[in-house]
Every structure is written in C-alpha cells, then in structure tokens.
Amino acid sequence: MEIGDVKYQLMKLIYIVEDHDVIRNGVSQYLELSGFEVKGQANLAQAKEAIKDRLPDLIIQDVMLPDGDGFVFIKNLKKDYPNLPVIFMTARTEESDRILGFELGADDYISKPFSPKELVLRVQALFRRLDSPIESSSDNPVYASEEGNRLSIDEGQHLIRIDEGEISLTAAEWRILLTLSKNAGELVVRNKILEECFDYSFESYERVVDTHIKNIRAKLRPGSWIETVRGYGYKFVGKRV
C-alpha cells in the first residue's frame, strides 16, 4: 500500500456494529493496520449514540444483535442518512438475505465466516467506488423519457435529478446508472456491469445487479429509464436532449 493511500484512509471513520467481541476486535485491528480510524459498538443502542456524536464514513453492520435486527436498524437509518455507506457482515448466508440487504441500500454484504483481509479489500474497493468517477466528463447530460420526464446527471457533484427533484443513490447505484447512461441505447450485459462498477467479483452474483437495478428504477420514478433485455442485461433508454 502506498503512503498516500494510508494518509487518505486516515480520514475515513468506520463503525463496526458487532456483538461478538473477538470478531469486532479482530476486524477493527485489521482495518486500523490498513490505515482506517475504527470504533466498535456491541449493540444497536451503542451505535445510535455513536452516530449522534459523529457520523461515520462507513458502517459495517451485523444483523443478529441482542437488542434488535440490523436490517431494521439500517432501514430506519437510511431514512435520515440515505447516502451513508453500509456493509452487512452477518452469519445469515441465504441468497434471500443477501438480496434483502442490497434492497435496503447496502453497498456490500459479506457472510461469516470470512477472511479479515477480504473484508479490508472490500472496504478499500468501496471507498474507491465512492471517490472515483468511472471517467471524467465536462458536461452534465440531460435525458428525456418517453413520458416526458427529464433526468440530469452532474458527475462533478455526484447528483441525479428527475425533473426538479434530487435523487439519492448509493455508490453502487450511481456507478451502475452512469455506466448505463454512457452506453445509452446499447445493451450492457450483467457481467460488464459487475466488471466496470465493482473492483472485485461479487461471489457470483448477477442477481446483485438485478437488485441494484430494481432500486434504481424505484428511485427514478416517474418515467421509464432502464429496459430489461431478458437473459442478457439492461439498456438505458433515455434520449439525450
């Protein structure tokens, strides 16, 4: 790791909400050795107090906690902080749980048991996605839907607007929408979306792309912007104006 990377990561504060002391402390040590500032909370009550005091750059969230459900906690937290990055870290390994995590706005989902090194790599990849555009662009394109709605993309400010309303997207959703819009009118297969929008393989999961697309569509209403090409991928159908 380059020295510049370490100095940059020192600015990043991570909360780990995990009731198992060994896991929480072990993950904290790995992240601290990688240059991050880390604070651990053993339950949701502690996490709520910590967030009141200081909002982190990332929450690594367990799901099954002694004082509540991590899914519900993040769902409610996202109402106040829709852009707050979240990684779920949980023993719930069913695909339905993973999909639910992404539907709630998570940026990643890692199943126990896992390698602490893998988690560090995912955290680093998440921050790269958050802070690095796919490619620079000097203009702010505006697109029209068949219904007459207008969608504008401001890459410099990471802002999406539908008509006059601002839309909040997660880091993954932003990069997926940007990738599709830069290939407007063309089929973008799921594998290409995974390769271009994430810095590592998602342990399979083309369905993760489908879940992100579902979330993006819900946020971009009204108007039809993304068309499914069944069995292959997606196409951005907004027209540049």
Phi/psi region, residue 35 (left: phi>0; alpha: psi -120 to 50; beta: rest), is: left
pLDDT of residue 201: 53
The confidence band for 173, taking pLDDT boundaries of 50, 70 and 90, is confident
Judge whether residue 97 has pLDDT over 70: yes
List the CATH code of the domain at 3-131: 3.40.50.2300
Report the mean per-residue pLDDT for the chain. Answer: 86
Q: Are 15 and 56 in contact (CB under 8 A)?
A: yes
Judge whether residue 169 has pLDDT over 90: no
The confidence band for 132, taking pLDDT boundaries of 50, 70 and 90, is low
Residues 6+ apart with CB under 8 A from 211: 99, 102, 103
pLDDT digits (tens, 9 = 90+) for 110-123: 888 888 888 998 89
Rounded Cα gap, residues 206 and 189, in angstroms: 10
How is the chain split into domains, by residue range?
3-131, 142-240
Instruction: Name the amino acid, one letter, at 49.
Output: E
CA 75-115-70 angle, to 5 degrees, is: 15
- pTM score over 0.75: no
pLDDT digits (tens, 9 = 90+) for 38-75: 999 999 999 999 999 999 999 999 999 999 999 999 99
CATH of the domain spanning 142-240, picked from 3.40.50.970, 3.30.70.360, 1.20.120.140, 1.10.10.10: 1.10.10.10
pLDDT of residue 170: 82
Q: How far is CA 62 from the centre of its chain?
A: 16
